[in-house]
Structure formats: C-alpha cells, structure tokens
C-alpha cells in the first residue's frame, strides 16, 4: 500500500536559489511526522509544495497515490494546510470562517462548534478574525485544517506561541485526527513538543534532509540530533549522503 504522502526528489527553486533540494519524505496514515530545522531550512516551502501552492522545479509529490501536480480537486481536498501566518477571511468571524471552510471543502460544518469548544475558541468565535490575537488566529488556522476533513494535515508552526492550555488542546486535536487516520506533517522549533507528539522527525538544513529519527525519543535527544546535524556543520550535506525519511 502506498504512503499517504510520498515526496521523491523534490526541488523547489526561487530564482537561482534552491529552497528545497532533492527531498525524499513519506507520511503514513495515522502518523505524525515532525519537520525540524532552522529558519530558512525549507520547512514552509516543503509544506507549501505538498499543498500545491508552489510548483516544484523537479521531483514528484503524491498524496494518496495521486500526483499533486495534476491539480485534481480530489487531491486538493485531501490536504488541509495551516500556514504561517494563518490565512483567514479577516472580515468573517472565526465561527463563520470555519463553517465556510467546512462547507467549501465538503467537511463537517456541524463539527465547528465542538471544535471551537475543544480548542478554547468559543468565547472568541463570534469576533471577526481581524480582531483576534496571534494565539487565537493560530487556533483558528488549526481548526480550519481539521474541520475541512482533510486526510493529510500540513501544519506550519501551528502550535508555536501558544500558552500551555492552548498547546494541550491543540495537541489533543491533532492526535485525535491522527487516531482517526489522518497523516500529519508539522513543522516546529519546539523539541519537547515534537517529542510529545511525533512518531518520526526529519531535520532539514539548507533545503536538504540531513537527519531522520523514529520514536522513542525525548526533547533532549531531539535537541542533540538537531545540534549534531545543523549546529555542528552549517554547510549543505552532499546529496549522496542525505538520509531517507
């Protein structure tokens, strides 16, 4: 059975600069994979490419066995992206935004109120998105990805900057989505959070995958993995030595 997400030989180029270089990556149904790396490593670009938001210079991206480059509606509907900063309809309330996303993406509009409650959004759900704080916008972005009924969640630092209660709520929602069969690819700088959530992590640097590790691990082990492969040698790794995820 093919992986839910299969990325092979991905190259994304901005002008003369390769933002992502020869990336191989998979995510299985029900799996949460952490995407680690410094700023500018290619994490956000990778997520955007998988979502079909940027065209690769080379390589293939398959979601559920279908090529993202074909632009099929069924493939787009299978992917839920919570980008950074969250893309919200600023003049809609949070509740209206989530209902609109659910209905447009054939998700579950009837699940909006429950999801707002679970993420602690209910007291703010009837405020326009433009009036929400950074943390509330992060939660609305996560809720939008989940309520769309996507099989693959792409989360770009979605839990960064949240207080402990909001983080706990967000982790629970993401884990429940994975238990229901969704695959999750989440970028983060928070090693303890990645250790708490993820079955696997991959580390990017200069657009290349430089390390990968499967659980068990803790936050200290992930920090050391990061420092060993990013802090110790800032130069891009040779393509031949890049590990496969």
pLDDT per residue as tens digits for the range 113-149: 999 999 999 999 999 999 999 999 999 999 999 998 8
Q: The tokens of 25 are what? A: 């990556």
Question: Could you tell me how far CA 88 lies from the centroid of its own chain?
Answer: 17
Predicted local confidence at residue 234, as pLDDT: 34
Categorize the per-residue pLDDT at 233 as very low, low, confident or very high, splitting at 50, 70 and 90. very low
Measure Cα distances from 169 to 24, 115, 142, 240 in Å: 31, 10, 11, 41
Check if the beta carbon of residue 75 is closer than 8 Å to that of residue 64: yes
8-49 pLDDT, tens digit each: 999 999 998 999 999 999 999 999 999 999 999 999 999 999
pLDDT of residue 105: 78
- As a whole number, mean pLDDT of residues 156-175 equals 95
* Count of beta carbons in the 10 Å neighbourhood of residue 54: 18
Q: What is the mean pLDDT of the chain?
A: 91
Here the tokens at position 244 are: 């496969």
pTM: 0.90
DSSP 8-state assignment for residue 194: H
pLDDT value of position 241: 43
Please give the helix or strand (H or E) that residue 105 lies within, else none. none
Burial of 39 (0-12, 13-18, 19+ CB in 10 A): exposed
Least trusted range by pLDDT, from 138-142, 150-154, 179-183, 228-232: 228-232
pLDDT score of 55 more than 80: yes
Burial degree of 107 (CB within 10 A; 0-12, 13-18, 19+): buried
Q: Are 66 and 75 in contact (CB under 8 A)?
A: yes
């Amino acid at each position: 059975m093919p992986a839910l997400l299969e990325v092979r030989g991905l190259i994304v180029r901005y002008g003369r600069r390769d933002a992502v270089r020869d990336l191989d990556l998979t995510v299985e149904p029900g799996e949460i994979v952490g995407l680690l790396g410094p700023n500018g490593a290619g994490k956000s670009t990778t997520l955007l490419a998988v979502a079909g938001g940027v065209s690769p210079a080379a390589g293939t991206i398959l979601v559920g066995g279908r090529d993202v480059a074909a632009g099929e509606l069924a493939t787009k509907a299978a992917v839920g992206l919570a980008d950074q900063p969250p893309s919200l309809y600023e003049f809609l309330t949070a509740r209206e935004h989530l209902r609109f996303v659910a209905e447009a993406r054939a998700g579950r509009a009837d699940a909006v109120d429950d999801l707002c409650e679970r993420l602690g959004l209910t007291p703010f759900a009837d405020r326009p998105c433009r009036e929400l704080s950074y943390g509330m916008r992060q939660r609305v972005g996560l809720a939008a990805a989940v309520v769309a009924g996507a099989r693959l969640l792409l989360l770009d630092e979605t839990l960064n900057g949240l207080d402990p209660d909001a983080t706990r709520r967000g982790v629970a929602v993401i884990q429940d989505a994975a238990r229901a069969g969704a695959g999750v690819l989440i970028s983060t700088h928070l090693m303890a959070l990645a250790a708490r959530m993820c079955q696997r992590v991959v580390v990017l640097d200069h657009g290349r995958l430089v390390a990968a590790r499967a659980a068990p691990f803790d936050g200290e082990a992930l920090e050391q993995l990061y420092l060993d492969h990013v802090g110790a040698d800032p130069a891009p790794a040779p393509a031949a030595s890049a590990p496969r995820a």
